[in-house]
Structure 1
Amino acid sequence: MKESDKLKGWTLSGTNSELYTIELDSNVVHTGTRSGLLYSKEEANEQHFGTMMQGFQAKIYKGKRIKLSCYLKTEDAYKSGAWLRIDSSSGDTIQFDNMYKRPIEGTTDWNQYSIVLDVPKESESIYFGVLLYGKGKVWADGFRFEEVSEKVPTTNMLTSEILPKEPINLDFSEE
């Protein structure tokens, strides 16, 4: 199954990347002749995660809404998913979704997953990939970026809807 330890354009990262491996797989594919495989080593547990990722300049997408779609397949995955992050020139994350509230768990066949984010004018870079929490395997194939209209809702996890309108319990008197 192992063809190469190097995947052109892709890097292994995460809080515990040493507990994960990425490689090409020519046996388990959805489109084309190869897929990317991210899998855990035995020592990995639910507190760890690894990601197969890449980044690029945001220039061509500034001021647009984009949809990242890909096909993922899992085997005994604790939690997995695609992710997309938009960063400003100062390195601050300004848009983000890692499918945390809609994770892929266990063993699944190939399915298409999508993330939709706005790329504000102050964007500098775009990072994306697939992540795996804990043990298991996840195959990725057929990543695609496309511009979508404002009618397509975003999946941004950093929206103001999840934040209170004002600070609360500043003196810690409330239980």
Structure 2
Amino acid sequence: MRAKNVTLSHGECLDIVARQFGLKDWNVLSAQAKRYEATAQRRASQLKGWAFLSEHPDVYDHGADDDPIAPGGGTAVIRLDPLLGPRRYPEHSRAFGCYTQTISAVPFHGKRVEISGNLRCQDVSHGATLWARVDGMPGHTLSFDNLKDASEGWLFGTMSWIDRKIVLDVPADAISLHYGFFLKGKGALWAADFKVEEALAEAQLTSSPPVQHRRAPAWLTPTNLQFSDVIDVPAIAS
């Protein structure tokens, strides 16, 4: 530029670099760079005992975070990157990031379990909250809830710290308990002070009760040992 007798100040040069990245000016690029550094540090130190699940985990900033007013002290965050996210998810409703943890359901057999936590969110477009599931044998879900239909369920927009909880029955044949929190669409979700504990017997379920006398999958018990039960198969045209 100097060879063409075009004089640029140092600040103007910085803004040109920022625009090469598709950003408004150097201040925006500088802020983004600091956030990416924090994102890299979070990804390098995974949350012990938790797994992050997403179709495209590379477009999420997730992991431990600091919030001096967070209940219980420690905080975890799920944030869809505002630049990379739209490239992977042109339709924001398809974006989904989730933290999950799995434990044995045996200590809760025949009881009700309460999964609770404190959440706050920022600019959430399609919802965020807790979720929980009780499983029996592989592929056999006994109960599930993500507060979709609850009056105190999904969070949208920007909200300060708020309680959410899920109460589920744990049948005697339950094997595993899965729980966590998720972000759907754009925005950011923070979680703190998670608890998994036995609920009072009279505690109200947050989802519909599981169907009583569920029919066991065919592979759980001996079936058709006398070969009398047949399935009609359409004849193949010759």
Give 3-state SS (helix, strand or coil) of 2:175's partner: strand
Q: Structure 1 residue 18: deviation in Å?
A: 4.2
Give 3-state SS (helix, strand or coil) of 1:123's partner: coil
Query: Is the CA contact (8 Å cut-off) linking 2:73 and 2:192 kept in structure 1?
Result: no
- Higher helix content, 1 or 2: 2
Among 36, 52, 64, the alignment partner of 2:76 is 36
Query: What's the counterpart of residue 119 of structure 2?
Result: 72
Query: Is the CA contact (8 Å cut-off) linking 2:169 and 2:209 kept in structure 1?
Result: no
- Higher strand content, 1 or 2: 1
The one-letter code sitting in structure 2 at the alignment partner of 1:109 is S
Normalised by the size of structure 1, how large is the TM-score? 0.82
The one-letter code sitting in structure 2 at the alignment partner of 1:99 is L
Among 7, 20, 25, the alignment partner of 2:65 is 25
CA distance in 2, matches of 1:48, 1:57: 29
Query: Is the CA contact (8 Å cut-off) linking 1:68 and 1:84 kept in structure 2?
Result: yes
Query: What's the counterpart of residue 204 of structure 2?
Result: 153
Q: Structure 1 residue 92: deviation in Å?
A: 1.6
Moved over 3 A (4+): 14-19, 157-160
The one-letter code sitting in structure 2 at the alignment partner of 1:74 is C
CA distance in 2, matches of 1:28, 1:51: 23
Please report the RMSD computed on the Cα atoms of aligned residues, expressed in angstroms. Answer: 1.9
Instruction: Tell which deviates more after alignment, 11-20 or 78-87.
Output: 11-20
Bigger RCO (CA 8 Å, 6+ sep): 1
Query: Is the CA contact (8 Å cut-off) linking 1:47 and 1:133 kept in structure 2?
Result: yes
Among 79, 92, 99, the alignment partner of 2:140 is 92
Structure 2: segments with no counterpart, 5+ residues: 1-34, 212-238
Matches within 5 A, 1:154-173: 154-157=205-208, 159=210
Structure 1: segments with no counterpart, 5+ residues: 161-175
CA distance in 2, matches of 1:7, 1:29: 20
CA distance in 2, matches of 1:129, 1:15: 17
The one-letter code sitting in structure 1 at the alignment partner of 2:136 is S
Q: Structure 1 residue 158: deviation in Å?
A: 6.7
Residues 1:46 and 2:93 are matched in the alignment = yes
Name the % identity: 29
The one-letter code sitting in structure 2 at the alignment partner of 1:153 is Q
- Write the deviation string for residues 103-155 of structure 1: whole angstroms up to 9, x where unpaired: 11110000011100001111111111101110110000001122122321111
Q: Which has the larger radius of gyration?
A: 2
Q: Structure 1 residue 157: deviation in Å?
A: 4.9
- Write the deviation string for residues 47-84 of structure 1: whole angstroms up to 9, x where unpaired: 22110111111111111101111000000112101001
The one-letter code sitting in structure 1 at the alignment partner of 2:202 is K
Query: Is the CA contact (8 Å cut-off) linking 1:94 and 1:158 kept in structure 2?
Result: no
Count residues in correspondence. 160
